[in-house]
């Protein structure tokens, strides 16, 4: 009896909670477009194709959130941001969402007023060298020059690694991704440190350059979508849009069959696609919010295979938890 009474009270309170407005969502709707901060220089994550269309995992996350918030995945304005400018752009409201190979750290949440809404990739800092150097392990880089982008967690990872190993290195600080690529290929540094995924993509795009990504990972780096603190409703919408893409993979819902699945008898599928329940209303959007996101970009596996598969990157820790990976989502109820 007591449990039923508590449940009834919670249900009665839910519509009131759903009415709490998201100032960010209101701004996005008023503007008619989602401003999404990305790198714009990261193969597999955010890089314009030959027609100028932004492609990649991060770009698809932006589109999924636009689909959930506005019902239209095309309503995205991509804002290319440097590592130095990305946090200020989000803090100031220049962008509504930051999906820029950005790692989840305590300082970024506790000191910068930002929050990680969800993880879209598990990565880690690595080194790439030229095979002609003969270097096969990071421990062999004693005295090496290392190209780094300043103001990133990678710079800190590398500094701590060399200090811990009690070996020396000479940092070569270069601000832009394209510039650092050219500097490394031109021999200005012996090694280049960046996210392992990025370096793997870089090697795949330069098959004749004789590159080797060293096996060590200096960190465990969950990267994903960040929002400003203080707007819990927007945080909820972004977070659960990411979760919905994972749930869709687990349930076998794809961009191609999302309409067919609307008549599926599975209650979990019905909740995901808005056939039953008021999950969208609780987030302040249409109950078909998740269906719109999946229709636009597919489930998580589709995003991964489309954007990172061609670069030779394996799912590894980015498999679903049921398959031995680290990607999981709470129940959509």
**Chain segment 109-136, per-residue pLDDT in tens:** 999 999 999 999 999 999 999 999 999 9
What does the pLDDT read at residue 20? 64
20's CB contacts (< 8 A; 6+ apart) are: 232, 233
What does the pLDDT read at residue 144? 97
323's CB contacts (< 8 A; 6+ apart) are: none
Q: How far is CA 195 from CA 56, 179, 212, 246, 273, in A?
A: 15, 16, 14, 23, 34
Residue 176: count of CB within 10 angstroms of its CB:
13
User: First and final CA of the chain: distance in angstroms?
Assistant: 22
Question: Is residue 287 a contact partner of residue 274, using CB atoms and an 8 Å limit?
Answer: yes
Provide the 8-state DSSP code for 258: H
What does the pLDDT read at residue 276? 93
What does the pLDDT read at residue 101? 84
State the architecture of 125-219 in CATH terms: 3-Layer(aba) Sandwich (3.40)
161-167: Cβ within 8 A, 24+ apart: 161/218, 165/139, 167/139, 167/141, 167/142, 167/143
Domain boundaries, the chain: 20-123+222-318, 125-219
Same fold, 20-123+222-318 and 125-219: yes
- DSSP bridge pairs for 192: 128, 147
CATH, domain 20-123+222-318, list 3.40.50.300, 1.10.3720.10, 3.30.450.40, 3.40.190.10: 3.40.190.10
Stretches where the chain sits below pLDDT 50 are 1-18
């Amino acid at each position: 009896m007591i449990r039923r009474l508590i449940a009834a009270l919670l249900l009665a309170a839910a519509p009131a909670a759903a009415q709490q407005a998201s100032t960010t969502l209101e701004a996005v709707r008023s503007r008619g477009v989602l401003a999404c901060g990305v790198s714009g220089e990261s193969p597999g994550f955010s890089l314009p194709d030959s027609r100028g269309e932004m492609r990649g995992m991060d770009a698809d996350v932006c589109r999924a959130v636009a689909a959930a918030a506005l019902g239209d995945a095309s309503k995205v304005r991509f804002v290319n941001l440097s590592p130095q400018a990305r946090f200020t752009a989000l803090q100031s409201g220049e962008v509504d969402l930051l999906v820029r190979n950005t790692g989840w750290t305590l300082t970024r949440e506790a000191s910068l007023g930002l929050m990680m809404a969800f993880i879209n990739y598990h990565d880690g800092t690595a080194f790439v060298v030229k095979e002609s150097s003969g270097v096969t392990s990071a421990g062999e880089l004693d005295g090496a020059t290392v190209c780094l982008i300043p103001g990133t967690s990678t710079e800190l990872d590398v500094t701590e690694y060399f200090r811990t190993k009690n070996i020396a290195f000479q940092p070569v600080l270069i601000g832009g991704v394209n510039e650092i690529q050219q500097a490394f290929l031109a021999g200005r540094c012996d090694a280049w440190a960046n996210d392992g995924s990025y370096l793997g993509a870089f090697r795949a795009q330069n098959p004749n350059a004789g590159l080797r990504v060293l096996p060590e990972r200096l960190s465990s780096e969950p990267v994903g979508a960040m929002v400003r603190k203080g707007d819990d409703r927007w945080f909820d919408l972004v977070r659960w849009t990411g979760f919905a893409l994972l749930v869709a993979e687990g349930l076998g819902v794809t961009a191609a069959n999302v309409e067919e699945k609307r008549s599926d008898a599975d209650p979990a599928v019905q909740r995901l696609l808005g056939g039953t329940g008021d999950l969208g209303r609780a987030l302040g959007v249409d109950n078909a919010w998740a269906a719109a996101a999946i229709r636009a970009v597919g489930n998580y596996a589709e995003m991964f295979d489309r954007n990172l598969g061609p670069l030779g990157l394996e799912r590894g820790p980015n498999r679903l938890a049921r398959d031995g990976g680290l990607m999981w989502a709470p129940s959509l109820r």
